[in-house]
Structure 1
Amino acid sequence: MQSSQQQSQPVRPPASKAESKGLLSSTLLVSSMTMLSRVMGFARDIILARLLGGSPAADAFFVAFKIPNFMRRLFAEGAFSQAFVPVLSQWREEGGKAAVRDLVAHSGGTLALILFVVNLIAVIAAPLLVTVFAPGFIDQPEKFELAGQLLRVTFPYLMLISLTAFCGAILNTWGKFGIPAFTPVLLNISLIIAALVFAPGMEQPVVALAWGVFVAGIAQLLFQLPFVWKLGLLPKLKWGGQHKGVKQILTLMIPALFGVSVGQINLLLDTLLASFLQDGSISWLYFSDRLMEFPLGVFGVALATVVLPHLSRTHTSGDTVKFSASIDWSLRMVFLIGLPAALGLGLLAEPMLATLFQYGAFTDHDVLMAARSLRAYSLGLLVFILVKVLANGFYARQDMKTPVRIAIIAMVVNMAFNLALIFPLQHAGLALATSLSAIVNAGLLWHGLAKSGVWKAAAGWGVFILRLLLALFTMGFILLWFTPESGWWLAQNALNRGLWLTGLIGGGALGYFCVLLISGLRVRHIRAPM
């Protein structure tokens, strides 16, 4: 590093409250904030479903929203964060405050300039992007033109939310997990206001939603800046093409573009192929994906967000035993929460979709179609979460090449399954292909960590899995026994649906955790390493 780093004192401030409480409590904090965001997201999607249903305009909006959202996850919250957090943790542990500020200033300036150029090109070439990401729209001129119009408004969201993710990575490294986790709530609030207040008065309501996305990006960035300033790390942006730390980040980031975001690439391929299917296919995939994203975001993303800075610090300190123990604990938590969530999504697909979305333009047919893809996604929920956690075992050690090789294999598998399953299963085949490729991805990542000795399974896995199976059997029995048939859900009003669904979820969860307790699982068995 630079000489200024060697002369200044290392940045090891007293542990923040989030850091001192440990991994479990930090994960719960992020989960609670993410839960709030997801609940608001469901409220948003209920309103969107009522306003748009499975219409061509809905398909156009979701494509225009998904393209910058995909790139956000690919670049900002994906590759950039996975490369930036380990490097920032290293500079924090080994360097001085001036060196950390210098790294933040140069990496932020480089990111901002690159994003500005990308946004400028994308706004000019919006029709080309629609052609690439939804080629099925070409034969539907009105739909194609609307998607391009909306994309010109939504795409700048990429730059705004990427800079927000940059601030969030800094806050996460300093243990301020709750602030970045709360930030997505602002997107949901903006879209809800746009849908309820501005959309009804417009000739094309989805245009108001596109502007809601743009405004949300501004609000999210402005919300986080004061907290970064409070840490003394609000940067004066500088170009860092020759900066050592920026070069280190870019070296790690380029391969991570594939490794960290293979799931997002697969979902985008689903959209591309679904654009050739019947109207509504993209919307059905969107709404089923939203339900799948609820447990994935509330728990999977929360866990991965908290664990990455912890693993990065542990790797920098050279504590291989603690590093392995942290991964092992993360995997147990994934199984503990991911398995019942996947089972619940699969068994309660129609009830959840009908309760949340079957209003206004969202018809009985939309519910049944979206349920097919939701069940297919539920088969992969556990491994979607596993991929996020297992990949961190490589990224924290600044090993990007291994996840890239695995991601390429998974992408090829996904394409093959897409072509094989789209004809017999239509949009549900695309969702199933995504789940199957994620299984391959997670399996290879798991094997790579175990083979390299980075992760060694701690004692007690056999008993732990047996307890989970007993609890899952009980939960499944409760849900199957007490869940009415699909026709009942489609015929009921919102209140009856909501009450019955709440009872089913509560009863299934109660049965699951009671069996775990009866079988001997205690808090000490899932206590996080400190």
Structure 2
Amino acid sequence: MNDSPRRPDFGMRGRRREPGSSVIRAATAPPPVSEGAFGDLQIVQSQYLADAEPGPLAQGETRSAEDAAHGSSRSLLRATGSMAIANLVSRITGFVRMSLILWTLGGAVASAFNTANQLPNMVTELVLGSVLTGMFMPLLSRASREDDDGGLGFVRRLITVTATGAFVITLIAVAAAPWLTDINLSDGKVNTSLATAFAFLLLPQIFFYAVFSVLLAVLNKNEVFRPGAWAPVWNNLIGIATLFAYVLFAKDIDPKAPVNILDPAILLLGIGTTLGVVVQAVVLLWPLHKLGINLRPQWGIDNRLREFAPSAFAGFTYVLISQVGLVVTNRIGSAADESAIAIYQSNWLLLQVPYGILGVTLLTAINPRLADNGTAGRNKEVVADISLGTRLSVAGLLPIIALMTAFGPVIASGLFAYQNFSPEEANILGNTMSASAFTLIPYAIVLLQQRVFYARESYWTPTIIITVVTAVRVGCAYLAPHVATSSQDVVMLLALSNGLGFLAGAVMGYILLKRSLGPLSGGEVLKSSGWVLFASVIGCAVALAADWILHLHLLVGAIGSFGDIIRMAILTPIALVVIVAVLTRSNLPELAPLTNRISALLSRNRG
């Protein structure tokens, strides 16, 4: 009996290699169809059965193209299903955490805190979270194919290099905390000294975010998704506990009082928030141990890492350009109003809730598949993934966007107008939501395009796209103070600028992808988007009419902001029922599992 830990396969287990291609799965019997709680899982399965290209067959195999498609699509379905609940819980706990920040700290202190907490994310979330994690996938694919140990030595070197570099960057960032906060806030209305005190305590997160990102890439390449999906939940829970402790034991921070970093309230918020990021990284160590990965440092630069250096520079250039847009937004917001940054960032985090449930789940599951197909040059499969990912993103997000656009102030009032966050600030947040909810679609498309380019090892192309995004965003942001009729409107226009930037980036990405891959099934995407948009507009129009006929706004006068929660609890089902009813007439193949199930249910009830 062999008691040694099992060797990690990094995608190799149960696969075979064809000459001139990347690793593909051996033929297996498809598992039973999952009846998961989320309709989008069924949509994923249905469309992959229709669109996936089968891999080449080995000698003696007799499986059909449909069987091959079943194997790959249901593998994606299992991966998506295992992450869907975790991502849902992560977004819910993240939303609770965001709400508590606004309720307990108020707009002015929350702006200082969020600015400081944003600093480590500016580097790690964009570079090591979204960018380098995507770049790591092709490298891990190559190592798993080329190395006798299945890429284990490469993984150890990759972790060592990442952790060492992140440690050095963290030390530099902490020393530069006053400069980092000043460049983001300038001489605006947000308390720069308070933001700097928080920054000293929060910037150490950089190291742990970096370690988390590389460990997550290794686990995902080995098709271990659940620990990484649940890790942010632990982070959020610790953040929530920290905010409860602040309410129970600390004295409220006065945004206009002199700042002392040793103030118990500041220490509690800073250390507790950083502890959450530490735990988020640490919880990935056990799954890696179960894979048999030795995390002892292995020094030395692998040749593939040397080859990767120019591509890594492309990633750092990407984040540098994106930071320009973020810094400009922070400076303009800080100059306009002391609560502007908290409102802007809360709006963005609120938009991330629906995106995280669908977009992140789908993107994480498709990423290893894109890496294999991209490095092997299987363009047909890559185009099918782009088309499917875009249509599913539009189908899942457009109804939510329509509701946010139509009822932004109602949603914000019901969720946030409590304790230290005033109804006036909540109304600004709601108008900001209405103006910028459309951002979700181009944002989701840009991130999908980004992963396609990284899978094809075209690392500089996303930098071109983010340059377009930032140029449009910054240009529009500088116009905001001159166009706004009041300082409170500036934050709404900043959010609108962000959306227009991503819209321009999505168009540029489409042009570049079409140039390198050929036709991208744009007609299918437009047809699907048109139907979902039509259904969403009709659904929200009916909900608005119901709101007017029933005089639901009177609930707010009777019971306060909680009345808006009841209001949305009544109107949201009305809108969704109408949207689904319209879509049952669309005959869109990606929605067939959902619409067929609803039609069968209605027929059964009529019978």
TM-score normalized with structure 2 length: 0.78
- Shift of residue 83, structure 1, vs aligned partner: 1.2
CA distance 1:483–1:113, shift in 2 (3 Å): farther
Instruction: Write the letter of the residue equivalent to 1:313.
Output: D
The residue aligned with 1:321 is: 380
Larger Rg belongs to: 2
Instruction: Write the letter of the residue equivalent to 2:531.
Output: R
The residue aligned with 1:33 is: 86
1:504 aligns with 2:557: no
1:43 aligns with 2:96: yes
CA distance 1:405–1:522, shift in 2 (3 Å): closer
- Shift of residue 510, structure 1, vs aligned partner: 2.6
The residue aligned with 2:363 is: 304
Counterpart contact for 2:377–2:456, Cα < 8 Å: no
1:467 aligns with 2:531: yes
Instruction: Tell me, in whole angstroms, the C-alpha distance in 1 between the residues paired with 2:526 and 2:205.
Output: 46
Pairing of 1:191-210 with structure 2 (within 5 A): 191-203=239-251, 204=253, 205-210=265-270
- Shift of residue 488, structure 1, vs aligned partner: 4.7
The residue aligned with 1:449 is: 513
The residue aligned with 1:432 is: 496
CA distance 1:20–1:443, shift in 2 (3 Å): closer
Instruction: Tell me, in whole angstroms, the C-alpha distance in 2 between the residues paired with 1:36 and 1:252.
Output: 34
Instruction: Tell me, in whole angstroms, the C-alpha distance in 1 between the residues paired with 2:303 and 2:441.
Output: 38
Aligned with 2:135 (options 83, 97, 118): 83
- Shift of residue 28, structure 1, vs aligned partner: 4.4
The residue aligned with 2:43 is: none
The residue aligned with 2:107 is: 54
Counterpart contact for 1:90–1:312, Cα < 8 Å: no
SS for the counterpart of 2:335 is coil
- Shift of residue 383, structure 1, vs aligned partner: 0.3
SS for the counterpart of 1:275 is helix
- Shift of residue 525, structure 1, vs aligned partner: 5.7
- Shift of residue 395, structure 1, vs aligned partner: 0.8
The residue aligned with 1:369 is: 428
Q: How many residues align?
A: 514
Aligned with 1:185 (options 219, 233, 241): 233
- Shift of residue 502, structure 1, vs aligned partner: 2.7
CA distance 1:510–1:182, shift in 2 (3 Å): farther
* Structure 1 unpaired stretches of 5+: 1-7
Aligned with 1:331 (options 381, 390, 403): 390
Aligned-residue RMSD, C-alpha: 2.8
Instruction: Write the letter of the residue equivalent to 1:187.
Output: N
CA distance 1:128–1:239, shift in 2 (3 Å): farther
CA distance 1:316–1:526, shift in 2 (3 Å): farther
Q: Deviations over 1:444-494 (max 9, x none)?
A: 001111122255317744543443233223222233223468965754446
Instruction: Write the letter of the residue equivalent to 1:76.
Output: L
The residue aligned with 2:544 is: 480
Pairing of 1:126-525 with structure 2 (within 5 A): 126-137=177-188, 143-203=191-251, 204=253, 205-240=265-300, 242-259=301-318, 266-425=325-484, 426-453=490-517, 456-457=520-521, 460-461=524-525, 463-483=527-547, 488=554, 491=557, 492-493=559-560, 496-522=563-589
The residue aligned with 2:170 is: 119
Counterpart contact for 2:12–2:150, Cα < 8 Å: no
The residue aligned with 2:74 is: 21
Structure with a larger share of its residues in helix: 1
CA distance 1:414–1:460, shift in 2 (3 Å): closer
Instruction: Write the letter of the residue equivalent to 2:420.
Output: A
Instruction: Write the letter of the residue equivalent to 2:507.
Output: G
Instruction: Tell me, in whole angstroms, the C-alpha distance in 2 between the residues paired with 1:217 and 1:254.
Output: 26
CA distance 1:71–1:285, shift in 2 (3 Å): same
Instruction: Tell me, in whole angstroms, the C-alpha distance in 2 between the residues paired with 1:71 and 1:117.
Output: 13
Instruction: Write the letter of the residue equivalent to 1:78.
Output: S
TM-score normalized with structure 1 length: 0.89
Instruction: Tell me, in whole angstroms, the C-alpha distance in 2 between the residues paired with 1:268 and 1:213.
Output: 22
Which has the higher mean CA deviation after the structures are superposed, 307-316 or 477-486? 477-486
Counterpart contact for 2:391–2:529, Cα < 8 Å: no
Instruction: Tell me, in whole angstroms, the C-alpha distance in 1 between the residues paired with 2:343 and 2:587.
Output: 41
Aligned with 1:108 (options 154, 159, 162): 159
Instruction: Write the letter of the residue equivalent to 1:190.
Output: I
The residue aligned with 1:3 is: none
- Shift of residue 526, structure 1, vs aligned partner: 8.2
- Shift of residue 223, structure 1, vs aligned partner: 0.9
Instruction: Tell me, in whole angstroms, the C-alpha distance in 1 between the residues paired with 2:433 and 2:354.
Output: 13
Counterpart contact for 1:86–1:398, Cα < 8 Å: yes
Instruction: Tell me, in whole angstroms, the C-alpha distance in 2 between the residues paired with 1:72 and 1:260.
Output: 9
Higher relative contact order at CA 8 Å, sep ≥6: structure 1 or structure 2?
Answer: 1
Instruction: Tell me, in whole angstroms, the C-alpha distance in 1 between the residues paired with 2:217 and 2:519.
Output: 25
Counterpart contact for 1:354–1:489, Cα < 8 Å: no
Instruction: Tell me, in whole angstroms, the C-alpha distance in 2 between the residues paired with 1:305 and 1:224.
Output: 16
CA distance 1:19–1:106, shift in 2 (3 Å): farther
Instruction: Tell me, in whole angstroms, the C-alpha distance in 2 between the residues paired with 1:339 and 1:288.
Output: 17
Identity %: 21
* Structure 2 unpaired stretches of 5+: 1-7, 16-24, 26-30, 32-70, 254-264, 485-489, 595-607
Instruction: Tell me, in whole angstroms, the C-alpha distance in 1 between the residues paired with 2:366 and 2:472.
Output: 28
Instruction: Tell me, in whole angstroms, the C-alpha distance in 2 between the residues paired with 1:265 and 1:183.
Output: 29
SS for the counterpart of 1:184 is helix
Instruction: Write the letter of the residue equivalent to 2:121.
Output: N
The residue aligned with 2:118 is: 66
Counterpart contact for 1:339–1:382, Cα < 8 Å: yes
Instruction: Tell me, in whole angstroms, the C-alpha distance in 1 between the residues paired with 2:171 and 2:135.
Output: 25
- Shift of residue 431, structure 1, vs aligned partner: 1.0
SS for the counterpart of 2:367 is helix
CA distance 1:386–1:201, shift in 2 (3 Å): same
The residue aligned with 1:5 is: none
Counterpart contact for 1:301–1:388, Cα < 8 Å: no
Which has the higher mean CA deviation after the structures are superposed, 483-492 or 39-48? 483-492
Counterpart contact for 1:105–1:237, Cα < 8 Å: yes
Which has the higher mean CA deviation after the structures are superposed, 100-109 or 419-428? 419-428
Counterpart contact for 2:181–2:195, Cα < 8 Å: yes
SS for the counterpart of 1:22 is helix
Q: Deviations over 1:246-289 (max 9, x none)?
A: 22333322213354786665344322321111221111112211
Instruction: Tell me, in whole angstroms, the C-alpha distance in 1 between the residues paired with 2:536 and 2:10.
Output: 48
Counterpart contact for 1:187–1:220, Cα < 8 Å: yes
CA distance 1:261–1:170, shift in 2 (3 Å): farther
